[in-house]
Amino acid sequence: MKAPRKIHSRQLLEIINRFPKARVLVLGDFILDRFIWGSVSRISPEAPVPVVNVNRESFLLGGSLNVANNIHTLGGIVYPCGIVGRDLEGRLLMRGLRRFGIETGGVVQDKTRPTTIKTRVIAHSQQVVRVDREKIQPLSVSDIRRILQFIQKKIKQADVVIVEDYGKGVVEPSLLKPLLKLAKRLKKPVLVDPKEKHFSLYKGVTAITPNRSEAYGGYNASNGRQPDLEEAGRGLLKQLNLQAVLITLGEEGMALFEKNQPTQRIPTTAREVFDVSGAGDTVIAAFGLSLAAGATLQQAAVLSNLAAGIVVGKLGTATIEPNELKQAIRSREDLFNA
């Protein structure tokens, strides 16, 4: 087994400087994140639940669009593709993309399914309840054809492909198989933020970024045993024929498993955790953008860990900017060989 490779802060800063030339194609479930912000001063007399006095509402790009927005705010070029309904929420998502100057050519509108919306009620910096509205059904032949037409056009320009699977119906075999076949022919790396029930679909992609629970659930251990972290990471590498598995571990940081490399444990850099909403989106966005900018898998994992440490310190479905990432590197020189 090879010795761990050294990471230098100078190299990480150089990778960030290359972000503006990096291009990423993002396929996945589009979600509108709605936040209702308020305060609580009493309990309802009707039931033992808090009464939230609403102060304001906000709407943010969620799901795979949060991945796309993270890539955009980090300075990269992104091509998102997915489905929205012909409804108010779909128009809000389109308006948000246009406001940020993000490509909209891959947005397919389908009048037969509503735009997926997650509504979170926040009071005193705490999430009180989440309400989801969604309709999970197979994509129509027409929707698949339109998405594939966009993919065939943009994948040639992309350096990396990201698949963000929220299990809302977009990531299915009829779409994923031709995408992977095309990516393999063009030698484009494919990264997946996985859904546990879909692990068998990801065979042969470059890397996946599950959390611990998803990794344990997706790995088929013998005799139905509960695997440990090392077994799950190494097992997924072999079962799915991957180059890498990056498992997020919450307050314990991350673990990177690569073929013919020792396991790399990456400690968390989060100082305060206010909200983990969308943290996984930030991880795969920074991981994919870093690879598109020429990073090694290990360098990309370190940068994605730093990005996650920043974003969990913010409320809501948040994004980060290059200067924040650079400052995080400079403030944690103890983690690198300067």
A 10 A CB-CB count for 196 gives: 16
Supply the Cα-derived Rg of the chain in whole angstroms: 20
Phi, psi of 202 (to 5 degrees): -95, 5
Which residues, other chains included, contact 235 with Cβ-Cβ below 8 Å and sequence gap of 6+?
Answer: 219, 220, 221, 227
A 10 A CB-CB count for 138 gives: 12
Pick from 204, 240, 172: nearest CA to 27: 172
Please give the distance of CA 308 from its chain centroid, rounded to a whole number. Answer: 11
Strand partners, 60: 33
- For the chain, the 3-state helix, strand and coil shares in percent, each to the nearest 5, are 40, 25, 35
**What residue spans of 41-170 are helical by DSSP H?**
64-73, 88-100, 141-154
- Concerning whether 334 is annotated as a catalytic residue, the answer is no
Pick from 273, 250, 280: nearest CA to 62: 280
Q: Which of 143, 275, 281, 334 is catalytic?
A: 281
Known catalytic residues are 281
